Structure 1
Amino acid sequence: MTSRGATLARLGSETFDLLVIGGGINGAGIARDAAMRSIRTALVEHADFASGTSSRSSKLIHGGFRYLEQGNVRMVLEGCRERGRLRRLAPHLVQPQEFVFPVYDGGPIGRLKLAAGLWAYDLLAGLWNVGHHRMLSARATREAEPALRTEGLRGAGRYWDCRTDDARLVLETILAAVQEGAVAVSYGRVTALLKEAGRIVGARLVDRLGGGELTVRARVVVNATGPWVDTVANLDAPTAPRLRPTKGVHVLVPRARVGNRAAVVLHAVQDGRVMFVIPWGGQALVGTTDTDHEGGPDVPPVVEAADVQYLLETVNHYFPAARLGSADVTSAFAGLRPLIAPAPGEAMAPSSVSREEEIFASPSGLVSIAGGKLTTYRLVAAAVVERVIDALRRGGEARRFGRCRTGRVPLPGGAAPPDAVAALALSRDGHGLAPATIGHLADRYGSRLDEVLHLVAADRELATPIVPTLPDPRAEVLEAVEHEGALTIEDVLRRRTQIALRDDTEGVAVAEQVAALMAGPLGWTPEETRAAAETYAATVEEGRRRWR
């Protein structure tokens, strides 16, 4: 990516067709789509890219099987098609995942209903299907998932969806937007919207790292800030809240303790809500909760002891040998779902609130997008960009803009399947990296793998793992800083890599080492380097104290 200084200079000196506020999946998708249509585009994010909702999901790209029960066939059809497209656009980031949905006596779903649902799911997926479902007997289920509770087990349904690295899906979408000419900057908070003759013509931006302030001028401004949609909309004019944010918590626990082979669909012991136990390397990703969040988006969602207990209670019930306690949790994270609020006076449980999106425009021209899902972000982006083009034309723009092309052009690492990328690297020696490490890097960077290998070739010390028990080489720290816009230790350990999720200390044990690697390209002094490591460690420890 272009240097931060140069990016800020462009933001302050050029007039853009479009300013996107928000660097999550919706904002990234909008910026990429617009830039590919030759719309002069800028994107600003108040923290790191994907640092909000977009990196705190269940990390699935799915057709939405549970939406069938609600009768939302359109949503499932869209989800299945987009799942297929994303597998082609980013085969390294979107990979098949087997699911097992066990059926128990007295459970909310019986075998016949589950079988009918899975047949419908396959039918709607059509040519975009990942794999056909199969109904399993109780015996076959025990063979497939021997650690599952056997008491009352009637059988299961086996089906397929996909898993993803949600933060890197956002990142690659932003990298793709920049390749198409967009300007993108993180850690820049919008503090005001600029108006002339009653129309929004830009925004005032504060650099949260450097402390400066600048004005960004744009003919159209889009508010794609997720949980902050109401906050940004109120910079335009006071309005009634559009969102009902709910909190979702996930925990990662040692997979060997759980014993699941596939992703397993469960119903929570306390309230029957659907949750997942998903293989995630040596960990099992367990989630999620769904509770109302009080205090607004600037009150960060936190993991509480009750959230961890809710999740572990269900895992221990269905996997009796696990016997997990809070001390066994490797890491945990909480995020906010920016859901559209129900109509006033309409009582609705958090899990029943619609997951669909809404696009709306203010009288002064601010276009806002609220709600939506990770899987269908590309469709949402295309719809928003059409609104942007309409606004540009109403403002006198005579240029012709093409149609959406994001469904045909791969993301930067998606030029080849990761297995093929890894095989090619190994055939050329792989600069001495072990085959497992090459495979790990190919799954993360795809056809961009050579960027990391070149760093290793220049300095073999960068082949050393950051954490001895994990495959991430030190070269990934430099790649994150030099090519992927990482500016803090958390950016590297939580969103460019997954060390903060997979390591027992959430990366605290290696924070000083990572800070030292970042110091050179970021120009940190020894004092700034030490402070960065200390700040990261303190933030992690504060969060862990709440649920440990």
Structure 2
Amino acid sequence: MATPPRMDPSYRAKAWTRLGQREFDVLVIGGGVTGSGAALDAATRGLSVALVEQRDFASGTSSRSSKLMHGGVRYLEQMDFQLVREALKERELALTRLAPHLVKPVPILYPLSHRGWERPYVTAGLTLYDTMGGARSVPGHKQLSRNGALRLVPALRKDALTGALLYYDGQMDDARHTLTVARTAAAYGATVLNSAQVVELTRAGERITGAVVEDIETGARTTVKASVVVNCTGVWTDAIQTLAGGRGRFNVRASKGVHIVIARDRINSEVGLILRTETSVLFVLPWGTHWIIGTTDTDWTFDLAHPAASQADIDYLLEQVNSVLTHPVTHADIQGVYAGLRPLLSGEDEQTSQLSREHAVARPQPGLISIAGGKYTTYRVMAADAIDAAREDIGPGVADSVTEHIPLLGADGYPALMNQIDRLSRKVDLPVWRLTHLLGRYGSLVDEVFELAEGDPTLYEAVPGAEEYLKVEILYGVTHEGALHLDDLLARRTRASIETLSRGVDSAQAVAELVAPVLGWDEARTAMEVQLYAQRVMAELESQQMSDDREANAERTSARDARLNITAMVPDPDPELSD
């Protein structure tokens, strides 16, 4: 089993030095799940790897998904059987071998609203889903009468369904999963760095030979030499291709997906829901003590780093979910809102809901590989395809991908620890529900968390304003997981920003004071981090009162980014939307 490095400020300083001192086989740009997966894939093939991310790991699309590791039931209707089969294989690997501590089965009810034709139609689809791999480590689908469905979901209106089917998919904390992939890559030797932005691609003639990287925290720059650069930047794909001097082989369109988060007691249900809408589907998914409701699917042509949810987006979600509930969800029930951008491969005129979720790999010029499209669940396949394509630049002798057999950090020993949870509870004097929470976030790495709290029992206290988390988890975020800013801790190392009424503001001061000694913050810097976080939350809340995307974007981008030196990569506005 690989030994995970402590990704603390000391690790970061050494990683920055390594970037400029050695030549790498592979330089990966982008610390989302695809980039992190590519770094892991390359490192486990025995290649030397550097991964740079301009903001934080999973700070873009990979922390703002529907939190599903799933085959994609709706793609069956689009006859995309290959994608569903591939995704179901990946879901199975995640549930059993690669990340059983992070990915869990989730039951989902599919209500039927038409008599006669609909039940056999949906049954055929879910039977195919089960046959293609959906019923290996989870139960197969189950037929339910209307009364049977209402016993599971009393919140549904009786006239909203004629019956239902129940099936299973996988669910995870996407930000934590992505971070774990990145840390696993580091454990196998990859040099992994956040707050590191590529500002230039270097070349010898037409060949890309590396990149100039800027440390966002200090403004320092260094040149990274690599046999091949792999562009895994999602909705920023075109921006990196522009740095290379051209548009590349494909275009990527950003589709905005908005989710809302409400308290669990607002919907009386034991299982999740999938509801058909006019354009796509809507999920209502259990999320700890909350429900996640989403998503939307609309074009986004504004700031890529901070997509904003408008009032129209939120109203749409409320309208859709309330169409089937006995007790409507209101704006006052919303505890969190988040918006993410899907990187979809595009033609010229398609609606985003019809664009492909397949991925594509291109080698637009020697020394540069670009990968785009795809879906979260198939990140490992995408990563392997990208490194396969890089063989032409690395040279002969590159081994085949082995990530199908590489458990993520924390997976080894996890089942045994779950069986010993009562003993662990007594050992650290924490209730079983706390231990279940910790094991579901760290797996067997929980021992590192315990070690951090040795001699300081106050670290087992709850985080003020975000009581589902412990102070030691916050500290662990900066001593082991590379967090550099308050936003990293409250939005991604924990999910306080979408799970608390204050959106994490009530926790900001205590969290900042806890990590200040490790990150070297003085009182002024600590105060600035708290202020910037509060401004970010206020800007998001204001944007959610705006009627359209243009106004929402203006409100959201009024707040300064804590990573102050970042040069924003913003697409040109759509001329039809210009004043």
- Normalised by the size of structure 2, how large is the TM-score? 0.89
- Shift, 1:416, TM fit: 2.9
- Shift, 1:462, TM fit: 0.3
Q: What residue in structure 2 maps to residue 215 of structure 1?
A: 223
Q: Is residue 84–residue 130 contact of structure 1 (8 Å, CA) maintained in 2?
A: no
- Shift, 1:348, TM fit: 2.3
Amino acid across the alignment from 1:195: R
- Shift, 1:455, TM fit: 1.9
1:329 aligns with 2:331: no
Distance 2:411 2:432 in 1: 20
Q: What residue in structure 1 maps to residue 346 of structure 2?
A: 341
Q: Is residue 122–residue 129 contact of structure 1 (8 Å, CA) maintained in 2?
A: no
Q: Equivalent residue of 1:128, what SS?
A: coil
- Shift, 1:126, TM fit: 6.4
Output one character per residue of 1:426-484: Cα deviation in whole Å (capped at 9) or x when no partner.
41433212211111000110111111111222210001000466321100011110000
Q: What residue in structure 2 maps to residue 355 of structure 1?
A: 357
Q: What residue in structure 2 maps to residue 310 of structure 1?
A: 316
Q: Equivalent residue of 2:158, what SS?
A: coil
1:273 aligns with 2:280: yes
Distance 1:293 1:45 in 2: 22
- Shift, 1:197, TM fit: 2.8
Alignment partner of 1:285 out of 280, 288, 292: 292
Q: Is residue 105–residue 152 contact of structure 1 (8 Å, CA) maintained in 2?
A: no
Q: Is residue 80–residue 129 contact of structure 1 (8 Å, CA) maintained in 2?
A: no
1:441 aligns with 2:450: no
1:463 aligns with 2:460: yes
Distance 1:238 1:41 in 2: 25
Alignment partner of 1:508 out of 499, 505, 510: 505
Output one character per residue of 1:491-543: Cα deviation in whole Å (capped at 9) or x when no partner.
11111112222111111001010001110111111110111111111101110
For residues 433 and 193 of structure 1, do their structure 2 counterparts lie closer, same or farther at Cα, with a shift above 3 Å needed? same
Q: Equivalent residue of 1:412, what SS?
A: coil
For residues 304 and 468 of structure 1, do their structure 2 counterparts lie closer, same or farther at Cα, with a shift above 3 Å needed? closer
Q: Is residue 243–residue 370 contact of structure 1 (8 Å, CA) maintained in 2?
A: yes
Amino acid across the alignment from 2:288: G
Alignment partner of 1:519 out of 516, 520, 528: 516
Q: Is residue 102–residue 155 contact of structure 1 (8 Å, CA) maintained in 2?
A: yes
Distance 1:121 1:92 in 2: 24
Distance 2:161 2:135 in 1: 33
Output one character per residue of 1:85-127: Cα deviation in whole Å (capped at 9) or x when no partner.
01121111110000100011389x8111011111111111167
Q: What residue in structure 2 maps to residue 246 of structure 1?
A: 255
Q: Equivalent residue of 2:104, what SS?
A: strand
Q: Is residue 355–residue 373 contact of structure 1 (8 Å, CA) maintained in 2?
A: yes
For residues 51 and 126 of structure 1, do their structure 2 counterparts lie closer, same or farther at Cα, with a shift above 3 Å needed? closer
Q: What residue in structure 2 maps to residue 161 of structure 1?
A: 169
Output one character per residue of 1:302-327: Cα deviation in whole Å (capped at 9) or x when no partner.
01111111001112221121x22222
Distance 1:223 1:325 in 2: 42
Q: Percent identity?
A: 39
Q: What residue in structure 1 maps to residue 550 of structure 2?
A: none
Q: Equivalent residue of 2:149, what SS?
A: helix
Distance 1:120 1:444 in 2: 32
Q: What residue in structure 1 maps to residue 553 of structure 2?
A: none
Distance 1:531 1:96 in 2: 41
Q: Is residue 316–residue 324 contact of structure 1 (8 Å, CA) maintained in 2?
A: yes
Q: What residue in structure 1 maps to residue 481 of structure 2?
A: 484
1:319 aligns with 2:325: yes
- Shift, 1:129, TM fit: 4.7
Q: What residue in structure 1 maps to residue 423 of structure 2?
A: 427
Amino acid across the alignment from 1:171: L
Q: What residue in structure 2 maps to residue 206 of structure 1?
A: 214
Q: What residue in structure 2 maps to residue 81 of structure 1?
A: 89
1:383 aligns with 2:350: no
Q: Is residue 489–residue 533 contact of structure 1 (8 Å, CA) maintained in 2?
A: yes
Distance 1:147 1:28 in 2: 40
- Shift, 1:267, TM fit: 2.4
Q: How does 1:143-182 map to 2 (within 5 A)?
A: 143-182=151-190
Amino acid across the alignment from 2:316: Y
Q: What residue in structure 1 maps to residue 265 of structure 2?
A: 256
Distance 2:285 2:151 in 1: 18
- Shift, 1:66, TM fit: 1.1
Distance 1:284 1:98 in 2: 13
Q: Equivalent residue of 1:209, what SS?
A: coil
- Shift, 1:391, TM fit: 1.8
Distance 1:440 1:309 in 2: 32
- Shift, 1:423, TM fit: 4.4
Q: Is residue 465–residue 506 contact of structure 2 (8 Å, CA) maintained in 1?
A: no
For residues 39 and 316 of structure 1, do their structure 2 counterparts lie closer, same or farther at Cα, with a shift above 3 Å needed? same
Alignment partner of 2:399 out of 389, 397, 402: 402
Q: Is residue 81–residue 128 contact of structure 1 (8 Å, CA) maintained in 2?
A: no
Q: What residue in structure 1 maps to residue 552 of structure 2?
A: none
Q: Is residue 83–residue 128 contact of structure 1 (8 Å, CA) maintained in 2?
A: no
For residues 152 and 187 of structure 1, do their structure 2 counterparts lie closer, same or farther at Cα, with a shift above 3 Å needed? closer
Q: Is residue 464–residue 510 contact of structure 2 (8 Å, CA) maintained in 1?
A: no
Distance 1:142 1:279 in 2: 17
Q: Is residue 92–residue 137 contact of structure 2 (8 Å, CA) maintained in 1?
A: yes
Q: Is residue 134–residue 140 contact of structure 2 (8 Å, CA) maintained in 1?
A: no
Q: What residue in structure 1 maps to residue 132 of structure 2?
A: 124
Q: Equivalent residue of 2:437, what SS?
A: helix
Amino acid across the alignment from 1:253: I
- Normalised by the size of structure 1, how large is the TM-score? 0.94
Distance 1:220 1:448 in 2: 33
Distance 2:495 2:215 in 1: 27
Number of aligned residues: 534
Distance 1:187 1:244 in 2: 25
For residues 497 and 469 of structure 1, do their structure 2 counterparts lie closer, same or farther at Cα, with a shift above 3 Å needed? closer
Q: Equivalent residue of 2:469, what SS?
A: coil
Distance 2:136 2:504 in 1: 38
Distance 1:190 1:216 in 2: 10
- Shift, 1:272, TM fit: 4.7
Of 283-292 and 203-212, deviating more is 203-212
Amino acid across the alignment from 2:34: N
1:99 aligns with 2:104: no
Amino acid across the alignment from 2:339: A
Distance 1:181 1:200 in 2: 23
1:53 aligns with 2:61: yes
Amino acid across the alignment from 2:417: V
Q: Is residue 44–residue 402 contact of structure 2 (8 Å, CA) maintained in 1?
A: yes
Distance 1:406 1:458 in 2: 38
Gaps of 5+ in 1: none
Gaps of 5+ in 2: 1-5, 546-579
